[in-house]
A and B are shown apart, each in its own frame.
Chain A
Amino acid sequence: MSIFQELANRDQVFDFLAPVQSPVDVRHGPILYMEDVNVSFDGFKAINNLNLTVDDGELRCIIGPNGAGKTTMMDIITGKTRPDTGSVWFGSRHNLLTKNEPDIASLGIGRKFQKPTVFEALTVFENLELAMATDKRILPTLTAIMKPEYRDRIDEVLQTIGLQELRDRLAGILSHGQKQWLEIGMLLMQKPRLLLVDEPVAGMTEQEMERTAELLTSLAGKQSVVVVEHDMGFVRSIARKVTVLHQGSVLAEGTMDQVSNDPEVIKVYLGEEA
């Protein structure tokens, strides 16, 4: 059905040739707003009355022990998991709970998975090409051609993530760290307003970590970034504001110093780590 509708709608061609802008209304402050969100799997409460607000242009780190609900939270924001109750808003206009993954992605929320997920059977260049913010419907995709400005944009990102040399190699042969970078590159191609980054430095060397930190901090301001990370050193190096999740709800929020001095946090999290 939908394909026929698209065929029928071809007169609206100007609509989708227009550059994709995220019509996100952030005049009232937060770009992401989660209120009283609950999710349970077979009686297990993965998310328990979660309240979280992320401001436009903010770089937020989220930490918490295993099973605190970090990944589930990302699943909810990106439309993969539907919460039992609660509300999730992107800006003040878009109710994310009524949308599916591709819709949410086109609104301007990009996500990097915990396990680096790139298209291993495609080249690095092609991976970035697919991520590019263009019309992603069927027929435009079928007839898409590689315009010079697209090529320039991809080359630019290749430069940023340092994979120019490998541009025509299959993504499958990349090292773990390179895959992480490629995935971040794909996020950049999407030009999202909000980036959700799940454990970006897992398996990276010290140097790679440093470059990632640089990249993420440089993004903040233009885009909002939410980073979930285990590596406390890394979090300390980039974080301005940290949220601690525990058993599906927010335990503490504040600067790294505030949080790490919170007795509750020390008890449930840092205490165990140290």
Chain B
Amino acid sequence: MGILRSLTLLLIALASALSLPATAQEDDPGTALLTNLAEAPNSKVEEALNAIVSSGDPRARGWLEAYGNNRLSQVKNTGQVVVVLNNRGRDWKIANPLTGENMGEMSRRELDRVAINNAIRGQLGGILAMLDLNAPDPDVREASAQDMMGKVDALLVEPLEARLELEESAKVRNRIEEALAIYRVGEGDLDAVEVLAGSLHPRARASLNVAVRGDDPALAAKAKQALSTIEQKLKLNRAAETLYFGLSLGSVLVLAAIGLAITFGVMGVINMAHGELIMLGAYTTWGMQQLLPGQPGLALILSIPAGFMVAATAGIIIERSVIQYLKGRPLETLLATFGISLILQQLVRTVISPQNRTVVTPEWMSGSLVINDALSLTLNRMYVLGFALVVFAALMLIMRRTRLGLEVRAVTQNRNMARSMGIRATRVDIMTFALGSGVAGLAGVALSQLTNVGPNLGQNYIIDSFMVVVFGGVGNLWGTLIAGLSLGTINQLLEPWAGAVLAKIIVLVFIILFIQKRPMGLFPQKGRAAEG
């Protein structure tokens, strides 16, 4: 399949290249190049190939690929070189390599395969990459230069050096220099070691490692030095990666906890169904994608308001139907909302499915941002991190700058006083709870991009969320942000040597002990207000 497709592509390319007024085949320099290759003895094949490469002919890539796939043949009678499209059966379909034109079928007996030996086949990759080095797109050139790492041999050195002279892009130049240096280190070149000292590519390290073990003591010493420089850089990159994963995990924790920081921290309501509100947000995303098949990106963006509304509505229903009757009885609220969480979970299991649902990641969120050879950051995590910060900033604005925020703070500090000043406390309760719940929904939308969406989604986050809020100091949004990010990072730091489960246990035990030491969290509220 793959071969056929590339052949077809090749033909299309050829056809388009030759849609210009057809030149006489005899005048085409390609004829000579191909014939030269077909008729070269083993020792001359490399030369023939280099001639094709340096010709700069746009069709060269197709020829070489066909050659590598054993699809280049010479017609016994005429000596014409053809491309074999289909080599099954007795009669083979063939095409003209110069024009791409179909030449019908020919018995395989009349054809002579252009032989390729394994040594040449091994080099072909490098030779093809060499071809790409001439491509107009610098990204293609960079990719092909990267391909060449560790594949450079004596024959490629010269064309590479030639290319280096011409190359304008600094990135591509670096790559080519590194590729050459890998070869030269192998040849015992001391200066090349210096070039590699800056490289994070695994091939560079491999070749230096070989040099360290080699016979040349001067080279070995220098290579060792270079390796330790690289090791330093790698460590830094690994630290950066851990930090990134930590912040990413932290941003998830912040998202999950920030709604709780509002309902629990500001209102003092213990909502054990908070995790299930997150779950509802995630299922909203899934539902949106079902409604808009083929447009996962649009569905995801629409899910942001939709997830907020769904979770906020659910929150209002919970507040009106249960929580308002349990005011001032936090332990009972805890139990009742836990019951609600069981009901919501089972509802999803019964109505949708007990199985996990897949939420599609839109294209612009998949893939990763490559920083260097050792560090690349996945895009979806970056988006979630950004989203968490935006949600946090928005909440801060709402609490600090809007009328609602003012009323919420007034009601929480002194309910009766606030009421006597004309604030409708009940309405504020509903709005606050809806806000906290809606944010849980937003967390669900974001989480759907990172984890499986299933009935247990929320359950997995509820204990963590409470830990984050308590750790940060109840009633303090900044505390929640810092607690979430730092707990995520601590968790990631521990994971390499403790494993995921043990890291989680250690973090939990750490928080349990921390709460004993500072019951009010990282950023406690002091004074008489805190006693009430």
Contact = CB atoms under 8 A, between A and B. Distances in A.
Nearest to A46: B527
A232 B525 CA distance: 34
A42 interface: yes
A41 B526 CA distance: 6
B528 interface: yes
A18 B527 CA distance: 40
Nearest to A72: B528
A41 B524 CA distance: 11
Contacts of A46: 527
B161 to A, nearest CB: 70
A111 to B, nearest CB: 15
A46 B528 CA distance: 10
A66 to B, nearest CB: 11
Contacts of A44: 527
B235 to A, nearest CB: 42
Contacts of A71: 528
Residue of B525, B526, B528 with most chain A CB atoms under a 10 A cut-off: B528
A71 B526 CA distance: 15
Interface in A192-249: none
Nearest to B525: A42
A203 B520 CA distance: 34
A42 B525 CA distance: 8
Interface string A40-53: 01101010000000
Interface residues of B, number: 4
A71 B528 CA distance: 10
Interface size class of A (residues with CB under 8 A): under 10
Nearest to A41: B527
Residue of A41, A71, A72 with most chain B CB atoms under a 10 A cut-off: A41
Contacts of B528: 41, 71-72
A262 to B, nearest CB: 28
A42 B529 CA distance: 11
Interface string A14-43: 000000000000000000000000000110
A151 to B, nearest CB: 36
Contacts of A41: 526-528
Contacts of B527: 41-42, 44, 46
A72 B531 CA distance: 12
B253 to A, nearest CB: 27
A72 B527 CA distance: 10
A260 B525 CA distance: 38
B329 to A, nearest CB: 16
Interface string B502-528: 000000000000000000000001111
A84 B526 CA distance: 13
Contacts of A42: 525-527
A71 B532 CA distance: 14
Nearest to B530: A41
Nearest to B529: A41
A110 B74 CA distance: 112
A77 B183 CA distance: 81
Contacts of B526: 41-42
Nearest to A42: B526
A46 B526 CA distance: 12
Nearest to A44: B527
B516 to A, nearest CB: 15
A199 to B, nearest CB: 15
A42 B528 CA distance: 11
A39 to B, nearest CB: 10
Contacts of B525: 42
A31 B528 CA distance: 28
A71 B525 CA distance: 19
A159 B290 CA distance: 78
B475 to A, nearest CB: 13
A270 B525 CA distance: 33
B518 to A, nearest CB: 15
B375 to A, nearest CB: 42
A115 to B, nearest CB: 11
A227 B387 CA distance: 57
Interface in A52-81: 71-72
A71 B531 CA distance: 13
A195 B37 CA distance: 111
A42 B523 CA distance: 11
Interface in B277-302: none
A110 B147 CA distance: 84
B165 to A, nearest CB: 68
Residue of B525, B526, B527 with most chain A CB atoms under a 10 A cut-off: B527
B121 to A, nearest CB: 76
A120 to B, nearest CB: 15
Interface string A70-111: 011000000000000000000000000000000000000000
Nearest to B524: A42
A69 B212 CA distance: 75
Nearest to B527: A41
A68 to B, nearest CB: 13
A44 B530 CA distance: 14
Contacts of A72: 528
Interface in B486-503: none
Nearest to B528: A41
B360 to A, nearest CB: 49
A27 B333 CA distance: 56
A41 B520 CA distance: 14
A72 B528 CA distance: 9
B186 to A, nearest CB: 67
B473 to A, nearest CB: 13
A168 to B, nearest CB: 28
A44 B528 CA distance: 11
B138 to A, nearest CB: 58
A46 B527 CA distance: 9
B379 to A, nearest CB: 42
B188 to A, nearest CB: 69
Interface in A120-158: none
B520 to A, nearest CB: 12
A264 to B, nearest CB: 26
A72 B525 CA distance: 16
B478 to A, nearest CB: 14
A121 to B, nearest CB: 16
B183 to A, nearest CB: 67
A41 B525 CA distance: 9
Nearest to A43: B526
A119 to B, nearest CB: 19
10 contacts: A41-B526, A41-B527, A41-B528, A42-B525, A42-B526, A42-B527, A44-B527, A46-B527, A71-B528, A72-B528
Given A42-B526, A42-B527, 8 more contacts: A41-B526, A41-B527, A41-B528, A42-B525, A44-B527, A46-B527, A71-B528, A72-B528
Instruction: Enumerate the 3 nearest inter-chain pairs by beta-carbon distance, A residue then B residue, closest first.
Output: A41-B527, A41-B526, A42-B526
